[in-house]
Structure 1
Amino acid sequence: MNEFFILYSWLIPIRMSTFNFLAAGLRTIEIEQATLSALLNQLNSSFSEACQLLLSCEGRVIVTGMGKSGHIGNKIAATLASTGTPAFFVHPGEASHGDLGMFTGKDVVLALSNSGETAEVITILPLIKRMGAPLISMTSNPESTLSRFADINLHLPVEREACPHNLAPTSSTTAQLVMGDALAIALLEARGFSPEDFAFSHPGGSLGRQLLLRVDDIMHSGEDIPQVSLHTPIHEALLEVTQKRLGMTAVTNDQGELLGIFTDGDLRRTLDLSIDLKNTPIAEVMTPGGTTLKTGSLAAEALKIMQERKINALLITDADGKLAGALNMHDLLKAGVI
């Protein structure tokens, strides 16, 4: 027995290594690609009608589907919701046991079923009709019960699954996913949904921070801004740089207008000149003007400027050119912009 087991255990990797995984992968992609090409060629007025119905929905878009179609439906609902079309997913089995209470006559129902005969979905159709909610179906069989029951049917031309047995949902779910994306993006464009709108539904992600966070939210202001006057000796300016820990100091006039900046780089160049640090005013070694950004600007814009110009700090001015704040790369990192 042990000898047989040892021999068999050696045969398994030998047999596995002879299988052409690449060919199987390519065949799968080719079959699904053909399905999408067929979908592209037959997209018709039903799609436009479905979009109009979804766009005019006064309630929510309720997506439902069973099994793998349910998984795709969940993703479609999430995509719709994040792109300006309020939507959520309801499991058809749970709908028959109380979750139909989530449906109202002002909602639009989007039901997914490759065959169009999924029992759990078919069971709730009469009740959806009774409450007056419009129904959009997504099936590969235009003569199915679900297709005939729907107000609008989105036909998915799925000839075969990528599975060699034509059983595992593959081509059909790919078509469903792409059709769902097409609906969501068409509605997004019709609504004029902007990047800022997208950010409001994604405030916790890096995209939300990039699109919503302003320099005003993270900059150092008031007494925390490193700044000295034109006549400040260099050694006193160095103390300001050290105390405020931003690697630089702004140079302003008595009216608070920004005249220049003195950075770590300026210090290195100053030391090479053997200048008297105690008696030489900062005005003689500062960088006039300096790189600035206006208040109200996006923090992401500050990051872009700092990366392009290879600098680690930035000064913020108001509409009148007066110094309003300062920030460095660490502030952007801490805020999650990077």
Structure 2
Amino acid sequence: MTTYYRPIPRTDQTRPEGALPLAGGWTWFDTVEVLYRDAPSRLLPATELPQEARDRLTAPRAPIAGLAFDAPHLMGILNVTPDSFSDGGEHDDLRAALAHAADMQAQGATIIDVGGESTRPGAEEVAIDEEIRRTAPVIESIRAASAVPISIDTRKAAVARAAHEAGASLINDVAGFTFDPALAPFAAEAGLPVCVMHAQGTPDIMQVDPRYDNVALDIYDYLEERITALEATGIPRARIITDPGIGFGKTLEHNLTLLQNLALFHSLGCPILLGASRKRFIGTLGGTEEARHRAPGSIAVALAGVAQGVQMLRIHDVRETDEALRLWQAATLGQAT
């Protein structure tokens, strides 16, 4: 029977004896929910954790792409596409893309995620040459102007190779390195860190009746399997970021369950990325039809993730999220940044 450990993160300034740091970050825990697929969960004092589980939950995460994970990072989204769900067509001109990248850095983004293929529900695949044409010149121009880390949001090895040659330093694959069998070997060969995400199905069909036995545990098992596969290609766990894939083949209820259980994914021993910005479920719950007006709801979800120790937030609204995060850190942790 597989056992899963979900730490219950806390941020109070007073820690009881026996409390443990969560992933070397800003939260701590003294209690763990022990989860099973075929039995009720139970609570366990953190001091009684098996050593391997304790090590994975407490060890500081190694820096990736020059970013340390003792504080949350903001990944600014730069979609150079005509059809992305929230900002399609706004930055598909080189000048507009560069201006937006510079603005996001000034507003608090510590990494820029460049994507040339929309992965919104119903989106169709983009040809490799076209995806390279959209992304490589933008990455090259950003790199010429700044040392900011750049990730390439792609499922394809040829696109990642062109992006790396242009200056990208991380591969972010929404398909979990299952779409193109050459992508993971390229990342290993180039020594690049990766972000592995869960999605049920490809973008064109992923929202057609998605189902799970247990959404949190199913996705945990998927990510553990993908991490093991990436390690086998030569990518060490210390260079892997995980993303449970909010909105990718999930119903509103699935998304909420994942958000309540984000801390579970610390047991994978990798940094966690949360990419919920402007997603449809935020509009549904917040009553905001237009995606570009969903910043308040997106920020609320982002801060809920940070309270569970999530190390990276993939976001559209950088200035607003940075301001909210600074205030959250001041009010909750007593950290004025």
Task: Please give the TM-score of this superposition, normalised by the length of structure 1.
Answer: 0.27
Q: Which has the higher helix share?
A: 1
Computing the radius of gyration from Cα coordinates, the structure with the larger value is 1
Structure with larger RCO (C-alpha < 8 A, sep 6+): 2
